[in-house]
Structure 1
Amino acid sequence: MTEQYQVCSLGDSVEQNQQWDAFVDTVQNGTFFHLSGWKRVIENVYQHPCHYIYATEDQKIVGVLPLVEQKSRLFGHALISTPFCMNGGVAADSEEVMLFLEQQAIEKAHALGVDYLELRYPFARNNPQLTQKCAHSTFGCELAEDHEQILANVKKKQRAVIRHSLKNDLSFRVDNDTSTAYEVYSESVRNLGTPVFPKRYFAALQEEFGERCDVLTVQQNDKALSSVLSFYYKDQVLPFYGGGLFEARASKSNDYMYYQLMCHAKDNKACNYFDFGRSKNDSGAFKYKRSWGMEPIPLHYHFHLVNATELPNLSPNNPKYQFFIKMWQKLPVWLSRRIGPFLSKYLG
């Protein structure tokens, strides 16, 4: 019976946050994106109200649910678990606890008067109050024991591209240089017609997550061509924000970057799994990840409509955004970095 559970709100108490994270570390469906550090990053960088709640039984945490409120005239009013992350929803071992916290989220969504509630699960849910939408997929693979075997496990055509990149006088470094990562990433997403996040967001992620976050940058003739900010959690490496300059295509530096990240994660972080992250189904990124030999795994995002009459569609494939995307691609990079953060804070 759900009456046995108590719902609590996560505050700023260090002890409370430690207990939250200790639970996420041990629960099977707890992910990096459930960690309490995201609350501090999102509040400090974006000023979005966070409504992190958890369930207790006999004063012990039995389930957590991170929720973030986003409100924009352009993109609507939503309660999301969790924006800027590919996963969210309830982390708990018990179906009963999951249903209990989902009900709490639905009630919170109605109390806030949002357009919709969005719970980003990597698996399907059996809750009649939620509507499922599978528009994204995730990719990943096990990491072999040595560099040669990691390369051998890549699909043949992509393996040839990586071998080519290894002959292109490229080098890489791994450090905390979020500034270079941002410079490369911001130019990359401008070329795709997407508003970039504020620079301080990258720095905040590195500061918050410490050794669980680093940057791998690929250089040629002392010039950074590609860079990726990655997370490490539960023996997995998650390359989360990666990009390359225009010159990256000719040098194959993006391919070199992900291969070297696999090797670095295995050698230095004891990772056993490479999580290539989410991509919009049938997008360019989707096809690129599949070329490595990884098969798509559907992500199950679930919605509960409150004031909205239809499911949201903030995808760049939405025809109403095509003109905006084409115009954005023509902006000078410096200008896209200046005005992008005012829009991207609602597009995570």
Structure 2
Amino acid sequence: MINKNISVKIYSINETNSSKWNNYLKNNDQACLYQLFEWQIINKSYFKHSVYNIVAESNNQIVGVLPLVSIKSKIFGHILCSMPFVNYGSSCANSTEINKKLMEYACELTNKIGAKYLEVRSQKPSVINMKESKNKISLTIKLDDDYEKLWNGFKSKHRTNIRRVYKNGITVKKGGVELLEPFYEILSKSWRDLGTPIYSIRYFKTITDYFKNDYTIFIAYKDDVPVASAFNGYYDDVVEGMWLGLDNQYRQYQPSYVLYWEMIKDACERGYKTYHLGRSSTDSGGESFKKKWNAEKKQLYWQYYLNTIDKIPNLNPSNPKYKLLIKLWRMLPLKATQIIGPLISKNIP
């Protein structure tokens, strides 16, 4: 039975609430990187979005949290989301019943603020029968302190491909904020070629400021030229693959093989147990490539409470509605996408 004394409230952003929130997550094995309070501070201070830090309490102790971000877009309308701009989010709670209370509160909040809909990006199915989309998956590698065990578990063809890319002169450097500019340049090229508006480099700099030692940037080079890049986050014993980009001019060298392997080795050497390779669309090229690393497929659940609309929205590059816009974006000079992109991307969850 659920404790009748449980109350649900909204925490304001301050140092005390941030510490209480993160301490709760630290002691809950269901927590993930994207639920940390720092993301809400960034979403409010950098993007200027309204944020709602939903907390369930019992006897003045936190028993559940749910971060929500309110995005008001002239293009897409008013959306309430957990969590936008990152791989997923959703709630973390001591029980299913507490989780239900948090989700019911979020639905009521959607009505109260007049959002078109609530979108909850979760690793688990809905606990209150919200509508669901199952077009996204996560692929996860179980790590080992001895990375040679992972290497020996790969198919022979896969190991051959990695060796071949090394022979092609691909090397990898890892570091921190000093690698932010080459990371951003490559990611900008990659997103421009996909037709996706990029965030400002200042957004990524803000993330490095808040997460300090809990991230690493990796750059793959071909003859001293940056050709691929990745940004990983760390929480507890988990590595989160957050952003990765490839310069299409160097695609023929397949630098991602060496980049991925160097990141996997690094995670093993640092003692992490799990590596989430980021989310992918089902049956995509990304899914196929990640499976080569013996990554386990896990379903993600995009959950929806529809307030003023009747159908689950399709804010997806595969939507024919955006085909022309994507085509035009791909034609823009890189610098133009870096100037215009941040004005658009902040309103695309």
The equivalent of 1:233 in structure 2 is 235
- What secondary structure does 1:104 align onto? helix
Contact 1:106 1:304 in 2 (8 A): yes
What is the aligned partner in structure 2 of residue 131 from structure 1?
A: 131
Query: 1:253-332 to 2 correspondence within 5 Å?
Result: 253-267=255-269, 269-332=270-333
The aligned residue for residue 190 of structure 2 is 188
Deviant stretches of 4+, over 6 Å: none
After TM superposition, list the pairs within 5 Å mapping 1:28-67 onto structure 2.
Answer: 28-67=29-68
TM-superposed deviation, 1:310: 0.9
Identity of aligned residues (%): 28
Shifted more, 63-72 versus 335-344: the winner is 335-344
Which deviates the most, 142-151 or 170-179? Answer: 142-151
Q: C-alpha separation between the residues in 1 aligned to 2:227 and 2:90? A: 36
Whole-Å separation in 1 of the counterparts to 2:315 and 2:3: 35
For structure 1, the residue ranges without an aligned partner over 5 or more in a row are: none
Shift of 1:222: 1.9
How far, CA to CA, are the matches of 2:296 and 2:71 in structure 1?
32
Q: Which letter does structure 1 place at the counterpart of 2:201?
A: K
Matched-pair contact (CA < 8 Å) for 2:142–2:295: no
2:194 and 2:76 mapped to 1: Cα distance? 20
Q: What CA RMSD, in Å, does the superposition of the two structures yield over aligned residues?
A: 1.5
Correspondence for 1:245: 247
Tell me the distance in 2 between the aligned counterparts of 1:158 and 1:315.
31
Matches of 2:18 and 2:127, distance apart in 1: 29
Rounded Cα–Cα distance in structure 2 between residues aligned with 1:294 and 1:248: 25
Q: 1:328 Cα deviation (Å)?
A: 1.2
SS in 2 for 1:145: coil
How far off is 1:284 after superposition? 2.3
Matches within 5 A, 1:100-115: 100-115=101-116
User: How big is each residue's C-alpha offset from its partner over 1:135-183, in whole Å with a ceiling of 9 and x where there is no partner?
Assistant: 1011011113334323223344333221211222222221112222111
Cα 1:248/1:272, change in 2 over 3 Å: farther
Residue 222 of structure 1 corresponds to which residue in structure 2?
224
Q: Is the 8 A contact 1:2 1:100 kept in 2?
A: no
Tell whether the 8 Å contact from 2:151 to 2:159 is kept in structure 1 after alignment.
yes
Cα offsets for 1:88-119 (capped at 9, x unmatched): 22101211110111111111100011110111
Query: How high is the TM-score relative to the length of structure 1?
Result: 0.95
Q: Comparing 247-256 with 63-72, which one deviates more in the overlay?
A: 247-256
Question: Distance between the aligned counterparts of 2:263 and 2:255, measured in 1?
Answer: 12
Corresponding letter in the other structure for 1:311: I
Q: How far 1:208 moved relative to its partner?
A: 0.7
Distance 1:251 1:262 in 2: 20
For 1:14 and 1:153, how far apart are their aligned partners in 2?
A: 46
Structure 2: runs of 5 or more not aligned: none
What's 2:26 paired with? 25
Deviation (angstroms), 1:54:
0.4
2:13 matched to which residue of 1?
12
Secondary structure at 2:191's aligned position in 1? helix
Q: CA deviation at 1:252?
A: 2.1
Q: State which drifts further: 140-149 or 307-316.
A: 140-149
Q: Does 1:140 align with 2:140?
A: yes
Q: Partners of 2:47 and 2:14 in 1: how far apart? A: 21
Q: Name the CA distance, whole Å, in 2 between partners of 1:78 and 1:154.
A: 42
Query: What is the letter of the counterpart of residue 142 of structure 1?
Result: K
> Which residue in the other structure is 1:84 paired with?
85
CA distance in 2 between counterparts of 1:340 and 1:153 reads 41
- Residue 177 (structure 2) pairs with residue 150 (structure 1): no
Q: Could you report, residue by residue, the CA deviation over 1:67-102 in whole angstroms, capped at 9, with x for unpaired residues?
A: 000111211211001101222221012111101111
Aligned with 1:202 (options 175, 192, 204): 204
Would the alpha carbon gap of residues 145 and 270 (structure 1) be closer, same or farther in structure 2, given more than 3 Å must change? closer
**How far off is 1:63 after superposition?**
0.3
Shift of 1:6: 1.7
1:195 to partner: Cα distance: 0.9
2:106 and 2:55 mapped to 1: Cα distance? 11
Do the aligned residues in 1 keep the contact of 2:87 with 2:242 (CA within 8 Å)? no
CA contact (8 A) 1:28 1:93 kept: no
CA distance, structure 2, for counterparts of residue 149 and residue 167 of structure 1:
22
CA contact (8 A) 1:120 1:301 kept: yes
Aligned amino acid, residue 170 of structure 1: I
**Would the alpha carbon gap of residues 126 and 80 (structure 1) be closer, same or farther in structure 2, given more than 3 Å must change?**
same
CA distance in 1 between counterparts of 2:166 and 2:291 reads: 21
Distance 2:159 2:347 in 1: 37
Q: Tell me if structure 2 keeps the 8 A contact 1:54–1:61.
A: yes
